Each structure stands twice: as structure tokens, then as C-alpha cells.
Amino acid sequence: MALKKTEWIWHNGKMIPWDEAQIHVLSHVVSYGSSVFEGIRCYETKNGPAAFRLCEHMQRLLHSGHIYRMKSPYTIEQLCSAAVEIVRENRLSSCYIRPLMIRGYGDVNVNPLSNPIEVYLACWEWGAYLGAEALEQGVDVCVSSWARLAPNTLPSIAKAGANYMNSQLIRMEALANGYAEGIALDINGYVSEGSGENIFVVRDGAVHTPPLASSVLPGITRSSVMTLCEDLGIPIREQMIPREMLYIADEVFFTGTAAEITPLRSVDRITVGIGRRGPVTKRLQDEFFAILSGAKPDRHNWLTPVGAPVGSPVASAR
Ligand code: PPE
């Protein structure tokens, strides 16, 4: 997936050309991984481009920063407006938006506090994350030999760059062994999440997903799917999931901004359910994409039109 460059990147309140969005090699983030970031999709709807749960993503960015004592120089309203502006200025209809808050150049020291905090927002066109056919056919995944972050090591509620060193180990191991993705267990051996997705298990008509205490990122898509289950009258429970539940589930799917709702057709080469997208996964996908395309009303106020002024109230994400 080659990055398709756009014209502008937002940096500390100004639009700068894509190629000028550079940092010094001794910026704190390079040695010490001190960044927090987001990933937001902007969809083409019948009313024009619209960002999905923009303010909830920006709220999570601020929370990630707060955990790491990084105070954002910008308010949530300023960040939401900047995201709208960057999509509009780059004249994109559907895209992926990447807000980044980093500790910049100043001193080289584990103590980060004397380095400036910088905010960047970029966006670009991005297609299906796990392959074009994944949404329908499902993907083949494995359980990783790498565990997800232990709770008293790196906080998984923060979407921090450093967490993705663990994700990279999971993803590279999976790819090396011929799988599309890996699922990590938490340090107690319960199912946690994929390297870049939350996970859901469907059994006997009920949907289950690991609780935040299983070292998962509080995914915005995860919270949206939980809401859709409630809307559709599908029982939804947050509970610890033993590994073997994955093998005997009727359906398993990933959720994420990039992965959207992607079914799993096998885990560790053991077929899951019917070996392709199951009926509950399809029902949730249909509802999700109907709202995102504007085919169904946006009853939860999930979409921020890129053509209109921003500043909608922030609903708290789970
Ligand atoms: N867990 C992890 C570890 C994770 O990285 C993501 C998003 C999720 C769960 C789902 O969260 P949400 O997007 O709020 O529903 N992963 C990003 C990774 C993309 C990338 O490769 O970079 C994403 O989907 O944007």
C-alpha cells in the first residue's frame, strides 16, 4: 500500500506543503517513541464527505496525551476544525486522517518535559485495510506468540506510538507465517485484540468482546458496533474471552477505523463457523455502512460533514 501524497499537512495551526512536514532526527519522539495519534476515516456520503466520529477521536487523542502528561496546545474544537480544514484543502472526498501529537526537538533525555509538543494532521486516500475481498470473504489469522501490553507497563487506553512496537511484532510474525493478521492474548492468556483491531466473537446469537481490562484500545468502531448491537436487539457483552472460544465461535470479526468490520474465516487454520462472513457480521456491516454512506439516517450523530462548520458537542466514547 503506497502512500498517496496530498498537497497540505496541518502543523501547529498552519497549512504547510506535504514535503515540508519534517522533523529533526533528534526530536524526542524518534529516540523515545513519545507520540500519541489517531486514525479517522472520512466517508463519501450522498451529502458530501463526512468524518466518522471526529470529536470522539480527538477526545481520545487528548486523553492519550493526558495519560502521558502531554498537554495539547489546541482545544478539541480547534482540532476538529483543523481536521475538516485539512480534508477540504486537499479536496478529498473519502480519506484517512492521521492526527499526531509528538514531543519535538529540544533536549535528548528520557525526561521529556523540556521538549516542545507539536501537532500535525495529515490525510490521504486509503482503501480496504486487510485486502479488498476481506470484508466479504473474511481473513485467515493466527494467535500471536506475542502477548499484548501488560497493564502496568504501557497503558493500552492511550493510543501511543510506542504501543505499536508490540503491534509490529504481532503483525510481522503473522505475515511471516502466511496469515493476514495476528490476535494477541493479554498477559493472563485471555483474548485481547489484533495488532490494529478490536475483536468480537459471536456465539448462539450473542456478541462478546474483551473488556478494557484485557489490554485493549477503547476502539471507536468497537463502541459503534456495541451501539449498533443495542439498536438491533442483539445481546452484547463485554467479557473475558478464552482463546478456544475463537475456534468454536459461530462468527468472529475485527473492528477498527482502517479494518472497519472484517470477518475472520479461520484462526490458527481452524475454520471459524461457516468459513466466511456470517449473518450477524453481515447485519452489523450493512447497518454500519448504511449510516456511513448516508443511505440510513445518522441517528447517533456520528458524521461531521466536511463542507459545514464544526463544533458539534462531544459524545463520550466508551
Ligand atoms: N486496537 C488497536 C491496537 C488499534 O490500533 C486500533 C486502530 C483499534 C484497536 C481499533 O480502534 P478504532 O480505530 O478506534 O476503532 N488501529 C488503527 C491502525 C491503522 C494503522 O495501520 O495505522 C486504525 O484502524 O486506524
Per residue of the chain (318 residues), give pLDDT as tens. Answer: 588 999 999 999 999 999 999 999 999 999 999 999 999 999 999 888 999 999 999 999 999 999 999 999 999 999 999 999 999 999 998 999 999 999 999 999 999 999 999 999 999 998 777 777 999 999 999 999 999 999 999 999 999 999 999 999 999 999 999 999 999 999 999 999 999 999 999 999 999 999 999 999 999 999 999 999 999 999 999 999 999 999 999 999 999 999 999 999 999 999 999 999 999 999 999 999 999 999 999 999 999 999 754 444 444 334
Closest CA to 216 of 236, 233, 241, 180: 241
What separation in Å is there between the alpha carbon of 256 and the centre of ligand 1? 5
Ligand 1 atom nearest 159 alpha carbon: 5
Q: Which residues are part of the catalytic machinery? A: 159
Closest-CA residue, ligand 1 atom 2, reads 196
Cell of 223: 463502541
What separation in Å is there between the alpha carbon of 93 and the centre of ligand 1? 21
161 lines ligand 1 (CB under 6 A): no
What separation in Å is there between the alpha carbon of 107 and the centre of ligand 1? 31
What's the pLDDT at 117? 98
The pTM score is: 0.95
182 lines ligand 1 (CB under 6 A): no
- Cα separation, 172 vs 166, whole angstroms: 10
Strands (E), the chain: 8-11, 14-17, 35-37, 40-45, 48-52, 95-103, 117-124, 139-143, 181-185, 191-194, 198-203, 206-209, 236-238, 251-256, 260-267, 270-271, 303-305
210 lines ligand 1 (CB under 6 A): no
257 lines ligand 1 (CB under 6 A): yes
Cell of 64: 492519550
255 lines ligand 1 (CB under 6 A): yes
Answer positive or negative: Cα dihedral of 268, 270, 272, 275.
Answer: positive
- CB-based burial label for 268 (10 Å; 0-12, 13-18, 19+): middle
DSSP type of residue 250: S
Give per-residue burial for 117-144: e unless 16+ CB within 10 Å, then b: bbbbbbbbebeebbeeebbeebbbbbbb
Closest-CA residue, ligand 1 atom 11, reads 219
222 lines ligand 1 (CB under 6 A): yes
